[in-house]
Structure 1
Amino acid sequence: MMPPRRPIQAVVTWVRRQPPKVKAFLAVISGMAALVLIRAIVHDHDNLFVAAEAVHSIGISVLLYKLMKEKTCAGLSLKSQELTAIFLAVRLYCSFVMEYDIHTVLDMATLATTAWVIYLIRFKLKSSYMEDKDNFALYYVVVPCAILALLIHPSTSHHFVNRIAWAFCVYLEAVSVLPQLRVMQNTKIVEPFTAHYVFALGVARFLSCAHWVLQV
């Protein structure tokens, strides 16, 4: 006689058996429920942005640890790191000219760490970089984000250029993980450190999204 399964295990097994459309629907419902819960629990929504930055920093630190320990960048996307550096640099500029606060310090630290990761992949660990697998064209995300920023940007009292720049970095942040997902799809192998990094990015993006949605 088989022992009874735990409720959580039973739910996970049931979800895995569902078709992709049902999984997507469940993910949307779960996200909306999480937003409602966060809105009820977190009174200062600015803390969500700080939390997103902190989680992102943790993810980058895990990635840097992998590079320094294993001396290989196999399975990592240089283009994702470059997109991350771009939106962090733009957001850092906006932070300086629009609101200098704790976000500025966090962005500076994350940008410095990301720049170090890019340096390691480009030079120190170049021999292990899977350039043929990292074949996602950056203009597929940079150009649409720029156009979208021109069309849809915050209506604040800040300068027009700064508002567009802020919108651009928000949009680019949301899609900066796509090249990394493409590499994972091409290699068919996901290393633990890479999986942890992508998970941290997912959590950070969700918290950032929650911050913006709850501001409305």
Structure 2
Amino acid sequence: MKGVNDFFRKVNDAEKMKRYLSDHSSSIKIYCFFLLLVFIFYHLFSDGDFSFLLTLSSVISMFSFLMVFLKIEMNKSCAGVSLKMMECYVVLNTSRLISIVPFEGYLPYDKSGDWLYQLVEAVSLFINCCIVYLCRYKYKNTYDSTNDIFNNLFLIIPAFVIAIFVHPSLNSFLPADVAWSFALYLESVCVLPQLSMFQKEGKVAAFTTHFLASQAFSKCHTKN
């Protein structure tokens, strides 16, 4: 509540508002670009079908990964980023692609399901792999391994076991149906390593909070 009140005080003070916009100009530009991108995607690829929300969710998720990648490259540092979390995303995006590239059971019904949804998921996987590479190799000296100690196998293995027993059958092919469910289950918990890292560091990096907020927002579309 305090943060909200501070924001409205800045709005009422023209000089403070100007300073606020100047300090956050890069973030504002990024989000404006994102909103423009969503608008373009909707008008170019949506038939007005409710299932387009699935594609929109993937676009938002892809945008959040791109934001993290660009921030790491701009700062030449991956400080504040949980490699364990990003590895989980690599696993779940790979699993999701396995279930949607050769099959159609889980694709959006509108024309975005013809190729766009698969493309966005593939691009997300590529960006994820790039982030993992940056953390493991290019900027490994900036990676905080002492605080990123959450064992992601404790998330991956249970999610896979549950998916084996609890899964839909829209693809009518067991491995692909399990892969889709595994991705969903893992996605619901894969941010835990990042939250654990926040707790151990005692601080929160602004761009990682933007990432988590974007991921949460993308999931709101698929839940509604």
Matched, 1:103 2:108: no
The one-letter code of the counterpart of 2:92 is F
Q: Residue 136 of structure 1 contacts residue 182 of structure 1 at CA under 8 Å; is this kept in 2?
A: yes
State the percentage of identical aligned residues.
26
The one-letter code of the counterpart of 1:135 is I
The one-letter code of the counterpart of 1:161 is P
Match for 1:171 among 175, 181, 185? 185
Return closer, same or farther for 1:157/1:77 CA change in 2, 3 Å cut-off: closer
TM-superposed CA distance for 1:90, in Å, is 0.9
The one-letter code of the counterpart of 1:142 is I
TM-superposed CA distance for 1:156, in Å, is 2.9
Q: Deviations over 1:66-99 (max 9, x none)?
A: 1011111111100111100111011111111212
* Count of residue pairs the alignment pairs up: 172
Structure 1 vs Structure 2 CA RMSD: 2.0
Tell me, in whole angstroms, the C-alpha distance in 1 between the residues paired with 2:222 and 2:131. 22
Listed as ranges, the gaps of 5+ residues in structure 2 are: 6-47, 105-113
Tell me, in whole angstroms, the C-alpha distance in 1 between the residues paired with 2:148 and 2:187. 18
Tell me, in whole angstroms, the C-alpha distance in 2 between the residues paired with 1:208 and 1:85. 20
Tell me, in whole angstroms, the C-alpha distance in 2 between the residues paired with 1:208 and 1:83. 20
Tell me, in whole angstroms, the C-alpha distance in 1 between the residues paired with 2:190 and 2:81. 13
Partner of 2:18: none
Pick 1 or 2: higher relative contact order, CA cutoff 8 A, min separation 6: 1
Equivalences for residues 62-211 of structure 1 within 5 A? 62-99=67-104, 101-156=115-170, 158-210=172-224
Match for 1:45 among 21, 35, 50? 50
TM-score (norm 2): 0.72
The one-letter code of the counterpart of 2:168 is P
Moved over 3 A (4+): none
Tell me, in whole angstroms, the C-alpha distance in 2 between the residues paired with 1:104 and 1:197. 21
Q: For 2:169, what is the secondary structure of its paired residue?
A: coil
The one-letter code of the counterpart of 1:87 is L
Tell me, in whole angstroms, the C-alpha distance in 2 between the residues paired with 1:197 and 1:120. 17
TM-score (norm 1): 0.74
TM-superposed CA distance for 1:194, in Å, is 1.4
TM-superposed CA distance for 1:119, in Å, is 0.6
Return closer, same or farther for 1:157/1:98 CA change in 2, 3 Å cut-off: closer
The one-letter code of the counterpart of 1:85 is V
TM-superposed CA distance for 1:61, in Å, is 1.4
Listed as ranges, the gaps of 5+ residues in structure 1 are: 1-7, 10-42, 211-216
